[in-house]
Chains A and B, each alone.
Chain A
Amino acid sequence: MSAQRLFSAVVVGLILLFLALPIVVVGVVSFSSATYLTFPPPAFGLNWYAAYFGSADWLRPTWLSIWVAACVVVLSTVLGTLASLGIARLPRPLRVMATGLILSPLIVPVIVVAIGIYYSFSRYGLIGTPIAMVLAHTCLAVPFVVTSVSASLAGIDPRLEQAALGLGATPGSTFWQVTLPLIRPGVLVGALFAFITSFDELVVSLFLSGSGAITLPRRMWDDLRFQIEPTIAAVSTLTIVLTAALLFSAHLLRKRIDQTRTATSS
């Protein structure tokens, strides 16, 4: 029995190593002092972080990506939250169709979405504009907002809204004072996932960014076509740390959702 335990622990450990190793290696390489890509690094230093933070060529795409992602968060969270509030109350055939349309970017291959949007946007001169990026990324981010908000809406006790309405609150103030505070963690989780979706997106950006709206992933991609210098490792490590921080916030928020759920259902 214990030999079997040991065996399964070793197997699980190896698979975890397979999952974690690439990310750890990128982190280690980013602190390398070498001017070319080698592992293990001959010595450690902060050269590549200095190279990143000292270069407008890297910082400009970074700010553009953050700016685009922030706009995507606002647009997808507002549209997605409104839709989530209505979608469960739609008559069934409409609900199925609306859900299918809204969630379909999760399964439609992203290259198909990318060239479709490129095909149509290029006719209106939108290629190479940040607006095109925001409009396209929002389509990809919306499913995450809708699934997250719908999940937290499903956890609300409908009697709370009924009580507010019964006590004379208008539907508007019922939403602001009862529903929204209850679903706020779900909305925030959706917003975080929307941010990550846009910030990391590359395939749509490859087609839409042209020469005027180079996002950070596009900048990394251009660099990787010619060389794999360790600046990319520093940028990658920074994005991994950012993602981890956002995920951790999402995790804490999700805990709050579960707490609200148990609090309202008891």
Chain B
Amino acid sequence: MSDAVATPAFTAPTVSFSWRRAVPLLLVAPLVLYMLVFYAVPVISMLLRSVNEPTWTLANYTALADDPVFIKTFSITLNTAFIVTLATLLLGYPMALGLVRAKTMAPLILIVILLPFWTSVLVRSYAWMVLLGRHGLINEALLAAGFIDRPIRLLNTPLATQIAMTHILLPYMILPIANALRQIDPSLERAASGLGATPWRTFRQVTLPLSMPGVAAGVLLVFVLSLGFYITPAMVGGPRDITLSMLIAQSVDQLNWAYAATLAAVLLATALALIAAAQRLPGVGNAFKMNMR
């Protein structure tokens, strides 16, 4: 939020001072009330189910330490998030570099990045079902090339989840990195190569360090978002590879609200802690702003 529209210097004579001060409050109040009633209070009262049964207690949380289902689910969730973050970084950085350095092609590249970005997660997960299925494009291509004799199992494996999530989250990595790269003064890179640095050395010692705030924002964003994935692992993942979100949904189906609320609180706390930790890194906040706009 910017302060550009701050306090007009001129005060209209017909409007009293206190009334003018109340106007911003009255403008914001309807939305804040709406969000409290239909979002914050419902979520918080659900989360309270984790600590108030039958009396106030943290027993649900301490029990998680010896809960093999939770431990397995949480480690699958974290593991998936690590792999997806690494994969999006490896693919996203060169893509961001290509986007920033492209001149005439840049609008076209941006469209190819943004169209999947705004296509629903459901449609993109379905697309990967089509690609990875027994008679999907990848199996047919591998058969035709003679690499395999009969279709291999790709769909409903952890690999399928990782590939589809990498595809879905890649734009979240590309956009903050591209934003950071765009802010680098081009004369710095010219100076480095003018002083005799090879392109690789210019990249390693000038471009890469200056783009780190974007990398940090992208890594944070992808990691936090992948912690909460539900649709994609449920559709393309293995039947036994349950993520935290899937376990939460299952517990709700079984009306085990105390357990569901405990898991939801753990998921939320993990996401918020990561974001709070990253806020301390310089420049991350700025890279975030661009992404949300």
Interface residues of chain A, those whose CB is within 8 Å of chain B, are 1, 4, 8-9, 11-12, 15-16, 18-23, 25-26, 29, 36-40, 79-80, 82-83, 85-90, 94-95, 98-99, 101-103, 105-113, 115-121, 135-136, 138-139, 142-143, 146-148, 150-151, 153-156, 158, 161-162, 165-166, 170-171, 196, 200, 202-203, 206-207, 217, 220-221, 224, 228, 232-233, 236, 239-240, 243-244, 246-247
B10 to A117, Cβ gap below 8 A?
A: no
- A172 CB to closest chain B CB (Å) equals 11
State A154–B77 Cα separation when bound (angstroms).
Answer: 39
Given contacts A107-B224, A108-B268, A113-B43, contact A39 B26 (CB under 8 A): no
Say yes or no: is B17 at the interface (Cβ < 8 Å to chain A).
no
- A232 CB to closest chain B CB (Å) equals 6
Cβ proximity bits B98-127 to A, threshold 8 Å, 1 near / 0 not: 110010000001001111101111111011
Q: Which applies to chain A's interface (DSSP): helix, strand, loop or mixed?
A: helix
B115 to A82, Cβ gap below 8 A?
A: no
Say yes or no: is B136 at the interface (Cβ < 8 Å to chain A).
yes
Say yes or no: is B68 at the interface (Cβ < 8 Å to chain A).
no
Q: Which applies to chain B's interface (DSSP): helix, strand, loop or mixed?
A: helix
State A218–B126 Cα separation when bound (angstroms).
Answer: 13
Closest 7 interchain pairs by CB? A86-B27, A109-B228, A116-B43, A22-B127, A12-B98, A200-B120, A120-B42
Contact partner of A112 (CB less than 8 A), chosen from B4, B26, B27, B264, is B264
8 A Cβ contacts from B109-152 to A: 109, 112-116, 118-124, 126-131, 133, 135-137, 140
A158 to B5, Cβ gap below 8 A?
A: yes
State A217–B43 Cα separation when bound (angstroms).
Answer: 23
Residues of B within 8 A of A11 (CB): 94, 98
Q: Number of contacting residues on B, CB 8 A?
A: 91
Which A-chain residue is minimally distant from B36 (CB atoms)? A101
Cβ proximity bits B148-174 to A, threshold 8 Å, 1 near / 0 not: 000000000000000000010011000
Given contacts A171-B15, A220-B122, A243-B118, contact A82 B30 (CB under 8 A): yes
Residues of B within 8 A of A25 (CB): 127, 130-131, 137
User: 14 A–B contact pairs at CB < 8 A?
Assistant: A80-B31, A83-B31, A88-B3, A88-B6, A90-B28, A117-B43, A120-B45, A120-B46, A147-B293, A171-B15, A228-B130, A232-B126, A240-B119, A243-B118
State A56–B246 Cα separation when bound (angstroms).
Answer: 31
Which B-chain residue is minimally distant from A95 (CB atoms)? B1
